[in-house]
A and B are shown apart, each in its own frame.
Chain A
C-alpha cells in the first residue's frame, strides 16, 4: 500500500502539465497565476503587498460529485466548477478569481502525504527557483488531517525574474487523499477556505472503515510550527482473535528556507488476543519515491523474533535479542493504564522495537511517574532523551513534549475515537 502510494505521488507530472507557474514580476504587472504564458511586460507599478493581499469575494458553495456517484463533496468557487476524470482519479477545478483557479486531485485511495508534496514541488519546480517554503497548521476536516505548504518562487519571465507563489494542501481523508493547488501570489485565505470546504464535505460511498479505534496527532516544533501528523487505527484482523494496529505518519521538517525533509512512515502490527506482536511491518520513505527502510518482524514458532528487509539500500536480517520479550504500543498503553490506576510512583523499563533508531536491536524505554507529579504525568525516557507526557485514563498520551536543545518538540493528540 505504501509503495503504491509513493509511485502514485511520483506520477503527478501528468496532472501538473496544466499548471502555469507564471508568477508576477516585481515592479511589473500583477501575477498571472494559472496562465501558461509568462506575465506580460509591466504596465503599471507592481505592488507586491497589494497583490499578496488579494482575496476572492462572493464565493459560493457548489455541489460536486463523480458521475458514478462514488464520491461527492462541495467546494467554494466563482463561476463554473468542473469535474474531470484523470486516470482513476478526478480533477476538480474551482475558479476563485481572474486567472486564479484552485485545482484538487481526488485520488481513488490514500497516497503518501509527504511524498505527494515532494513530488509536486519537484516536478513543478524544474523551471522555478524556490525561495521559501512555509507550512500551514495541521487541521482536521471530518476528523482527518490536512496540511498546507506554500512555496514562494522566482521564474524567468521575458528575460527578467518573476515572483510567484504556489499554494498546496494535502488531505488524508478517511478513505482517500486529496491534493489541491493554486498558483497565485495572492488568494492565501481563499485557498484555505476553498480547500477546507472540499475536504470537509467529501463523502465516499460504499466502503466503510473497519477501524474500531482512530487517533490523530500532530507534531510541532516550538509553539507555532507544525511539522507532521500521524493517524493510528486499530481494526479486526482476518482471524477474529487478532487485531491490526497501523500508524501512518508524514513529516515535513524544515532545514532551511528552501529545504524540507519529506518523510512518510507506515507501521503495521498484527497482534494476538493478548496484544502480543505476531508480525510487524515498518516502511519509511523520503522524498517522492526513495524507500529508506522496509522491514518485517516475525515471531517464529519457537517464539524467536526475527527481522528482515532493507535499510538505506542494504539488506538486513537477523534475530532480536529479546530475553524479556517485546512491548508494542498496545501493550505499553495497557501497562500505563494499569500503573496509573494503581496511583503512586512507578518506573517500568520495557523493550521496544524502533527500527528507525536501530533495526537490529530492541531499545529500552523507561516509563515513570514521580511521587509528586500530576496524576496523569508520565516521563518516557528513550536513551538519554526524556519525553514528558500527559496520559488519559486509557493509558494513551494526550500530549508529549521533549526539549531538543532550545527547541520544544510536541506531539499533540488532535482527536481520538473508539477504544483499544
Chain B
C-alpha cells in the first residue's frame, strides 16, 4: 500500500492531464530525490511483470482499496468525487447511489451504451476534432479509397497509425496527431472521433475510468476513448486497444462538449467535476 500511494502521488489524476502509468504495473518510478540511491531503479531490480497494461494508454491512476478479481460481469464501484455534475454517469444509469462525497456505481464488462440523440456538433468538424484539416482529410481519403469506413475499420486504422505510443503529449487536436502520429489515449480518441466524423459517422470523445485486471489485481485508471453512434445508441470505439486481461470495465464520466479553441477549459471545468480520488471494487 505504501508503494501504491507513493507512485500514485507522482502522477496527476485524469482530471489534470492525459494518460499516465498505472499504479501497480509501472516498471520504475520517478523519484524526486537527487540522491542516487533513491533516484535509480534499474530494470534489473524492478523487473517487468506480465501481463501489464501498455502504460501509454491510460490517464492518471487511482488507488484501488480492495484487490478483488474481476471474475463477475458486474461490479460495484465506489468512487469519491468532488463537484456535482455527473454527466455520463447519470446519462447511462451507472449511478446507483450518491452519499456525501461518494458514488456507488454499477458497472459491467459490457460497454454501457447511451441512448442520447446525436447533436449537430457530433457530426461536424471542430477545432479539436478538425476533420476539415488537410492532414486529417488525407487520412479520411485513404480510408475511403480502401473502403475501410466502418467504425471498427477506423479504430483499427488509428491504432496502427499512431506509431509512437507515449505520454509526451498532453492533449493534441486531431490534425496535430495526424501529423505527429504520436500520443496516448487522448490522441487516439481525438483522431478516432475526427475520422469517424470525416467518414460520416457521428463521433465524440469520452473521458472516464477503466478497471482492468493487472497481475491478478483490480486496478483503476483514467482513460479517454471515442464513441460512435450506430443509429440507435453510442458505442465504444477505443483505438488504444488496451493490452490487459479482460474483462475491462469502462466507466464514462464525461463526453467532451467544448471542442473549440477553449477545449482545455472544458477539460478543466468539466472533468474535474468528477474528481476521482479512489475506486473500490467488489463483487456484485
Interface residues of A (CB under 8 A from B): 26, 48-49, 52-53, 131-137, 148, 150, 152, 154, 163, 165, 186, 188-189, 192, 221-222, 224-226, 253-261, 286-287, 311-314, 316, 356-361, 363, 382-385, 404-407, 409
Contact = CB atoms under 8 A, between A and B. Distances in A.
Given A52-B37, A163-B42, A313-B176, A404 B262 contact: no
Pairs A-B, 8 closest by C-beta atoms? A358-B262, A405-B13, A255-B167, A259-B167, A383-B269, A136-B34, A134-B39, A225-B32
Given A256-B26, A363-B265, A385-B272, A132 B8 contact: no
Given A189-B36, A406-B278, 20 more contacts: A48-B42, A134-B32, A134-B34, A188-B39, A224-B9, A254-B30, A255-B18, A255-B19, A255-B168, A256-B11, A256-B166, A257-B28, A311-B261, A314-B127, A359-B261, A360-B261, A384-B273, A404-B13, A404-B275, A407-B16
Contacts of A255: 11, 17-21, 167-168, 184
Interface of B: 8-21, 26-37, 39-44, 55-56, 60, 62-63, 83, 127, 130, 166-170, 172-173, 175-176, 184, 260-262, 264-265, 268-269, 272-273, 275-278
A188 B38 CA distance: 11
Nearest to B83: A384
A131 B62 contact: no
Given A131-B28, A313-B175, A225 B40 contact: no
21 contacts: A26-B44, A52-B37, A136-B34, A152-B28, A165-B40, A186-B36, A188-B36, A254-B11, A255-B18, A256-B11, A256-B21, A260-B168, A261-B167, A312-B175, A357-B268, A358-B264, A360-B262, A405-B13, A405-B60, A405-B276, A406-B62
A170 to B, nearest CB: 14
Given A312-B173, A312-B176, A404-B12, A359 B17 contact: no
Contacts of B18: 255
| B-side interface mostly | loop
A386 to B, nearest CB: 9
B30 A406 contact: no
A156 to B, nearest CB: 15
Contact of A384 (B8, B44, B269): B269
Contacts of B262: 357-361
A222 B19 contact: no
Nearest to A161: B43
A138 B138 CA distance: 45
Nearest to B135: A313
Given A132-B30, A188-B35, A383-B269, A405 B275 contact: yes
A316 B261 contact: yes
B39 A150 contact: yes
